[in-house]
Amino acid sequence: MATSGEDPSKTASSFRAIISLARPEKRPLTLAVGLLFISSSVSMSIPFTIGKLIDYFTSSNPQIPLGLSLGQASAILLFMFTVGACANAGRATLMRISGQRIVARLRERTYAAAIKQEVEFVERGEGDVISRLSVDSSIVGESVTNNLSDGLRSIIMASVGLGAMFYISPQLTMLMLAVVPPVSLGAVFYGRYLKRLSNKTQEALGEMTKVAQESLSALRTVQAYNAHKPEQDKFSSKVQDVFSLARKEAVASGIFFGSTGWSGNVTLLALLAYGGTLVSKGAISVGDLTSLLLYTVYVGGGLQTLTSFFSSIMRGIGAGVRIFDLLERKPVIDPEAGVPVDPERRGPIRFEDVCFQYPSRKEVTVLKDLNLEIVPGESVALVGGSGSGKSSINSLLLRYYDPTKGRVTYDGQDIREFNPASWRSIIGVVPQDPVLFTGTIASNIAYGNEGATREQIEAAARQANCEFVWGMPKGFDTEIGRMSLSGGQRQRLAIARALLKKPAILALDEATSALDATSEHRVNDAIEKILRSRQTTCLIVAHRLSTIARAERIVVLEGGRITESGSYRQLVNRKDSRFRALMSAQLSAAAGDAPTPLGSPDKPEGESNATREPHADHAAEPQPQKAQEALM
């Protein structure tokens, strides 16, 4: 993004896109331009009127045009000023409302474009979506309307003013015009410089927001490690980046406006001196000179506004490039492409020679020539050490990413041929750390399933052992904040959310964090019910022995490769089994020691045991004893 604002072809297309944004606002904008003409005409008549008034009061034989009395002329002037003020108010209101409508439309479109991008783009902050939504869209909106309105006004003022000046005195006007070319040249350079600065400022603001978001969303960790100071320093350095850019802009605008103001005043002085000699020669009247000087002020003001109009259009174009880049970006996984999947369709899931690297870490091959088939209704537990690639398999299944080599098929068809939304609609997902959104328990279970009835929601909750919901004073209408539920409760709500879809496939990523005994039992029981029903094909990233033992097949993953596969009994009884080696900690836990969740063999002893009570666990959970039997 750093150089996108500099590319001339992008600048041109951004400008066209900005203009086309104003197209739906054609009617209010045309009306506003009409009102602008009215108010500008009134404004532009003021210097002329003042000149005439001066001549009237200084003349020995005062005359009012059209033979009007002083009272009538005053009434006409008052009426005109009132009309001008009303037109001005109307213009400003219409332009602002149109501007805000454009900003609103732009934000909606930017958000829609961002939310359909592949997860990598958004999650890694590559797209810097937040600052595009907030700051960039405002800048673009402003440049289209407020500035366009002021710009038009200044064009009218400058050109009508010049015309009037020529009419009064061509010589004096030529004198004034000598100043215009150097100032305009300065304005062009200033505008370009400002555009560059503005792009850099937007990027720096994005960086600043990212730092703040990261630390504020991890406030517990920041406080636990007393990391206020380093976090503040990190944020401060980003703020300083923004500030130093703002300082550059301040200096540039100071110099620019100072020098244009200076040249304006010098011009006035020159006009006054030369004009004075013309008056003394009787070439023009005092009133005419006054009008002319006032017109000069108007023209000068108009030109100054034009330069700031030019610079803000440039800023708008810079911000526009960032927005239109995102609006036009084709997501790597196109949500619109592909054929729909029949929700009733059933068939095996196959990973065929799948290799995979994350786009952000292309040098590391996470999955290596992986082959795996899961038949309809089968349950497979993926087992392996941390970082062995278990979750990556689920990510490929859900098409958050596509394999870099090989393919994933469903019922014989490459899942890349399916429409991603349609494909995902037949998969129920239970992530390791389920996210609950602002809203009620019911709306969270029905997330992505807005048409679900209360009965269906309750049935799914019952299936997922969410009995705790009935115990809450407001039941399913309880509002949930992100933090107000325990890990086990969140897992069960996530299971209910997944089950409500009646999925053909369930992709479950078991929590690695230790749950309390009762909660764990309820989660396990919910998973067991699903496995027993055999209606859903289950791919479980399993960390707990109880889940592993219940799956029909266990697939051991090591370093992105499948090293062993078979039923629990087979693997446990196999001599020198990789599974047994991997499970030794868990199996000894099953034999009576403190339990340790699998999948974190590298974790220091005790870390995961902290919140568990081994005896209570045994009482609530008979499964580990079974494992012990199997071993013997």
Ligand X SMILES: Nc1ncnc2c1ncn2[C@@H]1O[C@H](COP(=O)(O)OP(=O)(O)OP(=O)(O)O)[C@@H](O)[C@H]1O
Which residues are near ligand X by CB under 6 A?
Answer: 358, 360-361, 366, 384, 386-392, 541, 599
CB atoms within 10 A of CB 483: 7
Nearer of residues 142 and 510 to ligand X, judged by Cβ = 510
Is the separation of the CB atoms in 437 and 444 below 8 Å?
yes
Could you give the CA distance from residue 101 to residue 354 in angstroms, rounded to a whole number? Answer: 48
Is the separation of the CB atoms in 208 and 330 below 8 Å?
no
Q: Which two tokens stand for residue 491?
A: 């897992």
Nearer of residues 37 and 358 to ligand X, judged by Cβ = 358
- Specify which residues 418 forms β-bridges with: 339
Helix (H, G, I), strand (E, B) or coil at 362: coil
Is the separation of the CB atoms in 110 and 144 below 8 Å?
no
Nearer of residues 140 and 540 to ligand X, judged by Cβ = 540
Q: Helix, strand, coil % (nearest 5) of the chain?
A: 65, 10, 25
Is the separation of the CB atoms in 472 and 515 below 8 Å?
no
Is the separation of the CB atoms in 561 and 530 below 8 Å?
no
Nearer of residues 324 and 356 to ligand X, judged by Cβ = 356
How far is residue 222 from each of residues 108, 215, 230, measured CA to CA in Å?
Answer: 33, 7, 9
Nearer of residues 56 and 358 to ligand X, judged by Cβ = 358
Nearer of residues 396 and 426 to ligand X, judged by Cβ = 396
Angle between the 286-328 and 180-217 helix axes, to the nearest 10 degrees? Answer: 40
Q: Which residue's entry shows tokens 């009617």?
A: 27
In whole angstroms, the minimum distance from the beta carbon of 331 to ligand X comes to 16
b/e per residue 336-348 (b: at least 16 CB within 10 A): eebeebeeeebee
In whole angstroms, the minimum distance from the beta carbon of 599 to ligand X comes to 4
Could you give the CA distance from residue 583 to residue 598 in angstroms, rounded to a whole number? Answer: 7
In whole angstroms, the minimum distance from the beta carbon of 386 to ligand X comes to 3
Nearer of residues 341 and 508 to ligand X, judged by Cβ = 508
Q: DSSP of 366-432, one letter per residue?
A: SEEEEEEEE-TT-EEEEEESTTSSHHHHHHHHTTSS--SEEEEEETTEEGGGB-HHHHHTTEEEE-S
DSSP letter, residue 114? H
Nearer of residues 161 and 599 to ligand X, judged by Cβ = 599
Beta-carbon contacts of 572 under 8 Å, excluding residues fewer than 6 positions away, are 579, 580, 583, 627, 630, 631
Could you give the CA distance from residue 353 to residue 367 in angstroms, rounded to a whole number? Answer: 9
Nearer of residues 284 and 494 to ligand X, judged by Cβ = 494
Nearer of residues 391 and 465 to ligand X, judged by Cβ = 391
Nearer of residues 541 and 562 to ligand X, judged by Cβ = 541
Is the separation of the CB atoms in 531 and 492 below 8 Å?
no
Q: Which two tokens stand for residue 265?
A: 């005043």
In whole angstroms, the minimum distance from the beta carbon of 371 to ligand X comes to 17
In whole angstroms, the minimum distance from the beta carbon of 543 to ligand X comes to 7
In whole angstroms, the minimum distance from the beta carbon of 455 to ligand X comes to 36
Could you give the CA distance from residue 103 to residue 142 in angstroms, rounded to a whole number? Answer: 8
Nearer of residues 217 and 360 to ligand X, judged by Cβ = 360
Nearer of residues 435 and 591 to ligand X, judged by Cβ = 435
Is the separation of the CB atoms in 578 and 395 below 8 Å?
no
b/e per residue 454-478 (b: at least 16 CB within 10 A): eebbbebbebbbbebbeeeeeebee
In whole angstroms, the minimum distance from the beta carbon of 222 to ligand X comes to 23
In whole angstroms, the minimum distance from the beta carbon of 526 to ligand X comes to 21
In whole angstroms, the minimum distance from the beta carbon of 124 to ligand X comes to 7
Helix (H, G, I), strand (E, B) or coil at 577: coil
In whole angstroms, the minimum distance from the beta carbon of 555 to ligand X comes to 12
Is the separation of the CB atoms in 621 and 524 below 8 Å?
yes
In whole angstroms, the minimum distance from the beta carbon of 605 to ligand X comes to 17
Nearer of residues 28 and 387 to ligand X, judged by Cβ = 387
In whole angstroms, the minimum distance from the beta carbon of 214 to ligand X comes to 16
**Cα–chain center distance at 370:** 35
In whole angstroms, the minimum distance from the beta carbon of 432 to ligand X comes to 7
For the sheet with 367-374, list strands across it. Answer: 367-374, 349-356, 405-410, 413-414
In whole angstroms, the minimum distance from the beta carbon of 576 to ligand X comes to 22
In whole angstroms, the minimum distance from the beta carbon of 384 to ligand X comes to 5
Nearer of residues 125 and 377 to ligand X, judged by Cβ = 125
